[in-house]
Structure 1
Amino acid sequence: MADPLLFRWQAVSNEGQLQQGAFFCLHRHEAMERLVALELLPLKLTAGRRYRASDWKWQDKIIFFRQLATLLKAGMTLSDSLQLTGEGHREPGWQALLGHIQQRVTEGMPFSQALADWPTVFPALFPALMAVGELTGQLDECCLQLARQQERQQQLQKKVIKALRYPVFVLAIALLVSIGMLLFVLPEFIAIYQTFDAPLPLFTAAIISLSTGIQRYGLLLLAILFTALYCWRWKSRHSPDWQRWQQRLLLKLPLIGELYRGGQLSRIFTTLALTQQAGLTLLQSLQAVEKTLSQRLWREAIADLQQHISGGYPLHQALSGHLLFTPLCSQLITVGEEAGSLDSMLSRLGELYDNATHERADNLAAALEPLMMVITGGIVGTLVIAMYLPVFNLGNALG
């Protein structure tokens, strides 16, 4: 689905009443046709911002389903709940979206289908769970479970990103400081040293050569760096083999690899447990999980599991020996399948990896803080020593 535009409109009805509102369309012509189909005479039509997938924040989705669950539990109808939630939202985009969904529901379309028409906003897991809620008459409970699951996943994802972002940020600052010293501070010392006819220490001479090289070839190196980053981003988006290689490399990194694996396994098993408890079949649950994953390597792994399940094999056998899944996954799922409590074992696995990943993220941040300080101090200290080392021989040079 293309990124839609938010159009605000004012129109007159057949009864002569002035009406106004907003809805999403791809272009102005489609918006005009929509107003005519509603038997409205357009007076004003203004195109607003274009909404992309990144504009639909996870926090708003979680709040929406929590509010919807609360209103449904209070006894309100789905249509009235959607109308009340949409009118009370602070974002114009969400107001228009929920108004559109409420209109579809009023016309008789299932809520799950209305959500499925917006795949950039609601991933496949959302309409799948809502369909189960509609069949079982427990739509409010499904909304609440979905909100809780998404909230846990977002908290875990934020913690993992924060733990991985910290060392990169510190190293970037250290490199910027070092480059600044090489480009602006060291040349002033070089001018002082050149006034004395004395040989420089080898260490200082090497740092001066590095500074001279950066000044001479800095723009070329910067252009090469930006070109390499652009090629890396392009290949990351368009090359499946490159994506697989990156994700396999990430799994092999010390500390970070286990953190990355734990985050993915937590998402997979938490979603599987949620869909199993809601009443979906195991194959349907795996299909929903596959569409919620953004990493190609993990999506392909879930697709392989679906093929095994379709062939009549149990889940634990499909997981056994798989490179992405740990032996614990196969062991606990074997127990769950034999005891007839697969959903509880999946939930247990999700909790285990969620807790383990939170703990690893905290430990990684705690371990990297002193390490990054040592690295930063080492880089800056090396430059300071290189600049002041000739000063110790300055007395001999003057003599």
Structure 2
Amino acid sequence: MKTEGDTPHSWRLYRWQAIDTQGSIQQDHCIELDKARIYPQLFAAGLQPLKITMKQRLGKRFWKNQERVAFIRQLATLLQAGLPLVNGLTLLANEHPKPAWHCVLLNIAKGVREGKPLSVTLNYYPDVFPDIYRQIISIGELTGQLDKCCLQLAAQQEQQAELRSKVKKALRYPLIVSLIAIVVTLLMLTLVLPEFAKIYASFDAELPWFTRMLVVASDAILNSGPWLAGILSLLCFGYWQKLHPLKHWKLREQMLLLRLPLTSRLVTDSCLSQIFQTLAMTQQAGMTLIAGLTAASASMSNLHFQAALNHIREHIMQGTPLHKAFVQSPLFPTLCHQLIKIGEESGALDELLLKLAHLHRDKANSLADSLAQMIEPILMAVMGVIVGGLVIAMYLPIFQLGSVMG
């Protein structure tokens, strides 16, 4: 198991086989940073290693948010039922279908059994459990309300996951329809139009200008299309591999989403909902504003809102009231400043933050639902114009065939 002094590396899932003191072959899974760390553990357990095989590298993408949320909710349920923490962790580990999660939960249960707080054992797995999990669980341990904090954390993560899924779906729909329109257009220009061009060649008359234009475009695509497609593919691949991971390029991409008319409100409301939901939860759990802002910043994928939260935290550390600190950023609308000010003056900041979270979540849900309804007829009309225009351009010379023959 990893110690606190280790530098963070990617975990690996291993499968080992060993002989016990009775001469029987034992086998199981284990996660470690490298194979060399497994041998001492097997020797300490009285096992003679036979074979250790690496099965999988466990990067950040392996650990799914829905699995984390399910674990936290199940743990809260077991704690509320009166089951001791170690027993609950062991039970969840033995029931988990994935070997990697089974190993992680067993190691966490082992750490708790040795007397370490749950929040400390979670620190060994930063890729598995983000900062917000460790901070909220730490507050639950200090207040003696670990089950309630786990339930609150699970509910918050479920709401944010649902909202993110809806936003992605709303943004994905127009992209998919646009790609379909492009593919249909290319197929008609490269497969259908060349066959019609052979018929046009037998006409002893000048083709309509629209048809001539499409024939020229078809010839250009057939002659230069493969090269252009290869170059574009290389450029897209290079951008995604080299430029996309860079912070300043991510800032440009996210700023573009914040400026586009159809996506700006949707992205903004979803980010604001996540920020205020996290702040409300941390306030209800008893965390300080600075710690809450740190947790909210760490949970944000949008770098512009993340930077805004970091600036707000700096103002708070300098003694600025929260509502005045929020005024410094143009990303937060006036209503946010006003409600936060009311919450600070009335002593009900957590309730006002929760209202803001619900307000922006409802707005984001409404926008996500209406976005597809607004864009669908526009995209269908565009596809109709493109496909209809191609069909008319291809059949127009045939319609004129009678006059040509006359």
For the criterion TM > 0.5, the same-fold answer is yes
Is 1:245 the counterpart of 2:245 in the alignment?
no
Is 1:79 the counterpart of 2:86 in the alignment?
yes
Is 1:145 the counterpart of 2:152 in the alignment?
yes
Query: 1:12-56 CA distances to partner (integer Å, 9 max, x unpaired)?
Result: 456877654322012222222332344432234332222221121
Is 1:26 the counterpart of 2:26 in the alignment?
no
Query: 1:228-287 CA distances to partner (integer Å, 9 max, x unpaired)?
Result: 323432455443222222212211111211001111111111011111100100000111
2:379 to 348, 372, 376: 372
1:46 aligned counterpart, secondary structure: strand
1:311 to 298, 311, 318: 318
Aligned Cα RMSD in Å?
1.6
1:176 to 155, 179, 183: 183
Q: What is the match of residue 50 of structure 1?
A: 57
1:203 to 193, 210, 221: 210
Whole-angstrom CA distance in 1 between matches of 2:44 and 2:189: 68
Query: 1:333-386 CA distances to partner (integer Å, 9 max, x unpaired)?
Result: 011111111111111111111111000000101111111111111111111111
Q: What is the match of residue 93 of structure 1?
A: 100
CA separation of 1:341/1:86 partners in 2, compared to 1, >3 Å: closer, same or farther?
Answer: same
Q: What is the match of residue 262 of structure 2?
A: 255
1:8-23 equivalences in 2 (<5 Å)? 8-13=15-20, 19-23=26-30
- Determine if contact 1:23/1:100 at 8 Å carries over to the other structure: no
Q: What is the match of residue 135 of structure 1?
A: 142
CA separation of 1:104/1:94 partners in 2, compared to 1, >3 Å: closer, same or farther?
Answer: same
Whole-angstrom CA distance in 2 between matches of 1:294 and 1:207: 44
2:252 aligned counterpart, secondary structure: helix
| TM-score, normalised via structure 2 length | 0.94
Whole-angstrom CA distance in 1 between matches of 2:230 and 2:105: 46
AA at the equivalent of 2:365: H
- Determine if contact 1:159/1:358 at 8 Å carries over to the other structure: yes
| TM-score, normalised via structure 1 length | 0.96
Q: How many residues align?
A: 399
Is 1:356 the counterpart of 2:363 in the alignment?
yes
Whole-angstrom CA distance in 2 between matches of 1:265 and 1:124: 19
Is 1:35 the counterpart of 2:59 in the alignment?
no
- Determine if contact 1:79/1:102 at 8 Å carries over to the other structure: yes
1:42 aligned counterpart, secondary structure: strand
Q: Which moved more, 1:1-10 or 1:197-206?
A: 1-10
Is 1:125 the counterpart of 2:132 in the alignment?
yes
- Determine if contact 1:235/1:242 at 8 Å carries over to the other structure: no
Whole-angstrom CA distance in 2 between matches of 1:107 and 1:41: 25
Is 1:389 the counterpart of 2:379 in the alignment?
no
Q: Which moved more, 1:124-133 or 1:221-230?
A: 221-230
CA separation of 1:111/1:40 partners in 2, compared to 1, >3 Å: closer, same or farther?
Answer: same
CA separation of 1:281/1:395 partners in 2, compared to 1, >3 Å: closer, same or farther?
Answer: same
- Determine if contact 1:86/1:94 at 8 Å carries over to the other structure: yes
Is 1:278 the counterpart of 2:275 in the alignment?
no
Query: 1:296-355 CA distances to partner (integer Å, 9 max, x unpaired)?
Result: 222211111111111110111111152211111111101111111111111111111111
What percent identity do the matched residue pairs reach? 44
Q: What is the match of residue 188 of structure 1?
A: 195
1:6 aligned counterpart, secondary structure: strand
AA at the equivalent of 1:63: A
1:55-74 equivalences in 2 (<5 Å)? 55-74=62-81
Q: What is the match of residue 221 of structure 1?
A: 228
2:330 aligned counterpart, secondary structure: coil
1:108 aligned counterpart, secondary structure: coil
Q: Which moved more, 1:37-46 or 1:184-193?
A: 37-46
Q: What is the match of residue 288 of structure 1?
A: 295
CA separation of 1:249/1:117 partners in 2, compared to 1, >3 Å: closer, same or farther?
Answer: same
- Determine if contact 1:5/1:26 at 8 Å carries over to the other structure: yes
Is 1:165 the counterpart of 2:178 in the alignment?
no
Q: Unaligned regions of 5+ residues in structure 2, if any?
A: 1-7
AA at the equivalent of 1:97: V
Whole-angstrom CA distance in 2 between matches of 1:167 and 1:250: 14
Whole-angstrom CA distance in 1 between matches of 2:339 and 2:14: 52
Q: Which moved more, 1:228-237 or 1:173-182?
A: 228-237
Q: How far 1:69 moved relative to its partner?
A: 0.4
Q: What is the match of residue 3 of structure 2?
A: none
Whole-angstrom CA distance in 1 between matches of 2:379 and 2:188: 19
Whole-angstrom CA distance in 1 between matches of 2:316 and 2:41: 45
AA at the equivalent of 1:193: Y
